[in-house]
Amino acid sequence: MSVPTPDEFRAALRRFASGVTVASTVYDGVDHAMTASAFTSVSLDPPLVLVCVDKTARFHQAVAVSRVWAVSVLEASQVESARWLATRGRPLAGQLDQIPHRRGEKTGAALLDGALCWVECRTWEIYDGGDHSIVVGQVIGLEVGDDDDPLTYHRGAFQPGFEGEA
């Protein structure tokens, strides 16, 4: 096996289905948010999660400085919010104006209404991950919503919900 090109790597890993989240923080009074599928649990004791953040994203600097952030795990109907917050170069000011949300009690970060769950974090550590940073957060707040129909990402596209029983 040879080392894959970036295009080969991307094409192969598009076959991995993942959940879709929105990570958010507030820095200098301004909301920063991004759509992320690279989110997972890390540890139960202490409770840790991670999100991978492109080093060139505006969110990267904001979360590195604020050291508190939140994640909303998106429900199938939230595909438009996911698309909007995945759009590079969108205006920073007012980016959440059309997305129903509330503030996290522990972080002040935006929590999207209707999500499957919400996780508030204090940054535990930030690790180098090539062109991304791996931001590990200690969970300081957690809430579970009423719905259970996830928004997923597979083959380069959002996939609202899934059929069948678990």
CATH code of the domain covering residue 130: 2.30.110.10
Handedness of CA 40, 43, 44, 49 (dihedral sign): negative
Q: 142: which strand partners?
A: 119
In a domain, 9, yes or no: no
Can you list the residues of the chain whose pLDDT is less than 70?
161-166
Report yes or no on 44 lying in a domain.
Answer: yes
Counting the structural domains of the chain, the total is: 1
125 assigned to some structural domain: yes
Let me know if residue 74 belongs to a domain: yes
The answer to whether residue 124 sits within a structural domain is yes
CA 104 to chain centre: 15
Domain assignment of residue 140, given as a range: 22-155
163 domain-assigned: no
pLDDT digits (tens, 9 = 90+) for 29-58: 999 999 999 999 999 999 999 999 999 999
Q: Is residue 10 part of a domain?
A: no
Q: What is the pTM of this model?
A: 0.92
Residue type, 163: E
